[in-house]
């Protein structure tokens, strides 16, 4: 029989803000480690400070974790466990490990309060961190710190220690901003007679200037990345490689593969700058793994309201493909649409003669003839099979003999009204025969 304790990890977010990208990564590592060892991953909402807690944040955190695919096995709220803390607090006071101290309220020196302070043994304390090895603190500097606002109102450190112990948390995996909190928690833990968990302090995720990530320096909430159109699998993959590596050059991981390969051995010691560009790359890579139909459906949903584009996409699988490979996120796509980059799908472009001419054209005087010929060739393509391949087939041979630039450039500009756009065959397929002819005619009349 296996006598080893089942691995149990936990994430302990405070519902005082939206799911933070750093919390998401800590959750991911807790999840991966637990699942790797067939253990359990627990979410514990740390809401002991009622004044800073909001339900909408709790909802966002839980939603976010689910969206990312980090399924928890148990969920707790500290606000629902007060009796547990009160009892433990009482025991501590009764055994004189802690004491009630009458003093002036911190924010009001008239009001008297009765806080609970821990009797600090004032010793040197050493604990082992998975990543950094032994870390020693002199606990004297901590003094008899407060562990509860009152006999019935526990503070963070106390609640954490009691919960971790009672919930059988075997591995405390958290951000390294908690390193200095650890001795304090161990003191409480020893006063309670609990066993120490294994501590693993993950390096922080940093803003580009290497300081703590904050709203001022870019998006910190998972919801924001979600809104921008990042795939959960891409975020997971990126976050996993921020501070961890599989020891190989493999970079694209699915959640299953991460669970398979994860270990606490390849963790980084120093903080990692969050690089949105690399996240975008991961997003592109993960998008390639998603079934085409599903992506197409999402694309169309994103473009809701842009009827011209939607009709074009309905007609042209090539245009769908083109849009899909051009942008790494939906936010970028919508931005491009909003700034009019694709307005040729919505309305007739305004043509200018000098834009119609290819800059490197050796025979610009042949424009009129060419447009006439293009019109003729395209006119021969059947309306019902007006596809990328067929349009290309009709024009290609002529373009090669006449000079591709001299033919394809004006054709493309006539259809798009832009110097930069998808290629002319995609445009033709997307616009349909009637519209294609109309636009080419429009260009032709400029030369009459």
Partner RNA sequence: GGCCCUAUCGUCUAACGGUUAGGACAUCGCCUUCUCAAGGCGGUAAUCAGAGUUCGAUUCUCUGUAGGGUCACCA
Interface residue with RNA, options 49, 257, 343, 442 (CB under 7 A): 49
Interface residue with RNA, options 75, 100, 105, 227 (CB under 7 A): 105
Q: Which of 106, 215, 359, 360 is catalytic?
A: 215
CB of 117 to RNA, least distance (A): 9
> DSSP label at 80?
G
User: Which residue number, 146 or 320, has a Cβ lying nearer to RNA?
Assistant: 146
CB of 6 to RNA, least distance (A): 25
**Alpha helices, DSSP H, located in 327-387:** 330-338, 353-356, 367-379
Answer yes or no: are the C-beta atoms of 85 and 53 closer than 8 Å: no
Give the x-and-dash track for 396-415 against RNA (CB under 7 A). Answer: ---x----xx--xx--x---
- Which one of the spans 151-159, 293-301, 375-383, 432-440 is the region binding RNA (CB under 7 A)? 151-159
Site membership for RNA, residue 286 (CB under 7 A): no
Interface residue with RNA, options 8, 10, 11, 14 (CB under 7 A): 14
Distance CA 150, CA 347 (A): 69
Q: Is 441 helix (H, G, I), strand (E, B) or coil?
A: helix
Answer yes or no: are the C-beta atoms of 18 and 221 closer than 8 Å: yes
Interface residue with RNA, options 22, 229, 232, 271 (CB under 7 A): 271
User: Which residue number, 143 or 379, has a Cβ lying nearer to RNA?
Assistant: 143
Site membership for RNA, residue 364 (CB under 7 A): no
Interface residue with RNA, options 75, 100, 227, 273 (CB under 7 A): 273
Residue 77 has a CB neighbour count (10 Å cut-off) of: 15
**CB-based contacts of 90, cutoff 8 Å, min separation 6:** 151
Distance CA 308, CA 435 (A): 12
Q: How far is CA 87 from CA 12, 101, 183, 415, in A?
A: 21, 18, 23, 77
What is the footprint of RNA within residues 169-188 (CB under 7 A)?
A: 176-181
Site membership for RNA, residue 241 (CB under 7 A): yes
CB of 143 to RNA, least distance (A): 9
Q: How far is CA 230 from CA 31, 54, 68, 72, 140, in A?
A: 21, 26, 11, 22, 48
244 half-sphere exposure, CB direction, 13 A CA radius: 25
Give the x-and-dash track for 198-227 against RNA (CB under 7 A). Answer: -----xx-x---xxx---------------
Give the x-and-dash track for 328-357 against RNA (CB under 7 A). Answer: ------------------------------
Distance CA 147, CA 151 (A): 10
CB of 140 to RNA, least distance (A): 10
Site membership for RNA, residue 277 (CB under 7 A): yes
Give the x-and-dash track for 28-47 against RNA (CB under 7 A). Answer: ------------------xx
User: Which residue number, 40 or 58, has a Cβ lying nearer to RNA?
Assistant: 58
Interface residue with RNA, options 63, 119, 130, 156 (CB under 7 A): 156
Distance CA 392, CA 408 (A): 10
Interface residue with RNA, options 66, 275, 335, 376 (CB under 7 A): 275
User: Which residue number, 5 or 292, has a Cβ lying nearer to RNA?
Assistant: 292
Could you confirm whether 215 is annotated as catalytic? yes
Site membership for RNA, residue 292 (CB under 7 A): no
Answer yes or no: are the C-beta atoms of 40 and 7 closer than 8 Å: yes
Beta-strand relationship, 153-154 and 146-150: antiparallel
Encode burial over 359-393: b for 16+ CB neighbours within 10 A, e otherwise: eebeeeeebeebbebbbebbeebeeeebbbebbbe
Site membership for RNA, residue 242 (CB under 7 A): yes
User: Which residue number, 336 or 446, has a Cβ lying nearer to RNA?
Assistant: 336
Site membership for RNA, residue 263 (CB under 7 A): no
Q: How far is CA 272 from CA 209, 239, 244, in A?
A: 11, 10, 10
Site membership for RNA, residue 370 (CB under 7 A): no
Which residue numbers are catalytic? 215
């Amino acid at each position: 029989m296996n006598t080893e304790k089942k691995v149990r990890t936990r994430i302990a977010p405070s519902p005082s803000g939206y799911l933070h990208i750093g919390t998401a990564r800590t959750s991911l590592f807790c999840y991966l480690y637990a699942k790797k060892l067939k253990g359990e991953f627990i979410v514990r909402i740390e809401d002991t400070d009622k004044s800073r807690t909001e339900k909408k944040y709790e909802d966002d955190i839980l939603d976010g974790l689910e969206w990312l695919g980090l399924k928890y096995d148990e969920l707790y709220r500290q606000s629902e466990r007060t009796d547990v803390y009160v009892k433990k607090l009482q025991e501590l006071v009764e055994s004189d490990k802690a004491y009630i101290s009458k003093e002036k309220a911190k924010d009001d020196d008239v009001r008297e309060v009765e806080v609970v302070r821990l009797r600090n043994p004032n010793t040197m304390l050493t604990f082992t961190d998975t990543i950094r090895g032994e870390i020693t603190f002199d606990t004297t500097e901590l003094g008899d710190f407060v562990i509860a606002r009152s006999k019935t109102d526990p503070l963070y450190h106390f609640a954490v220690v009691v919960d971790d112990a009672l919930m059988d948390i075997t591995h405390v995996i958290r951000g390294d901003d908690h390193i200095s909190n650890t001795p304090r928690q161990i003191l409480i833990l020893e006063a309670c007679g609990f066993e120490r968990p294994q501590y693993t302090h993950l390096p922080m995720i940093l803003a580009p200037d290497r300081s703590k990530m904050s709203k001022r320096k870019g998006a910190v909430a998972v919801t924001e990345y979600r809104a921008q159109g990042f795939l959960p699998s891409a975020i997971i993959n990126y976050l996993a490689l921020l501070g961890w590596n599989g020891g190989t050059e493999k970079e694209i991981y699915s959640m299953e593969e991460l669970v398979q390969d994860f270990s606490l051995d390849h963790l980084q010691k120093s903080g990692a700058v969050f690089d949105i560009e690399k996240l975008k790359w991961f997003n592109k890579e993960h998008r390639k793994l998603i079934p085409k139909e599903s992506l197409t459906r999402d694309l169309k949903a994103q473009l809701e309201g842009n009827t011209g584009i939607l009709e074009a996409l309905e007609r042209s699988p090539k245009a769908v493909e083109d849009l899909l490979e051009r942008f790494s996120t939906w936010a970028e796509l919508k931005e491009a649409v909003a700034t009019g980059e694709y307005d040729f799908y919505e309305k007739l472009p305004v043509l200018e003669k000098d834009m119609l001419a290819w800059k490197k054209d050796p025979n610009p005087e042949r424009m009129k003839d060419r447009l006439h010929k293009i019109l003729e060739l395209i006119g021969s393509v059947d309306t019902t099979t007006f596809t990328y391949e067929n349009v290309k087939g009709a024009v290609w041979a002529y373009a090669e003999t006449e000079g591709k630039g001299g033919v394809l450039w004006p054709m493309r500009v006539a259809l798009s009204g832009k110097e930069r756009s998808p290629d002319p065959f995609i445009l033709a397929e997307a616009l349909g025969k009637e519209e294609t002819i109309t636009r080419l005619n429009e260009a032709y009349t400029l030369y009459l």
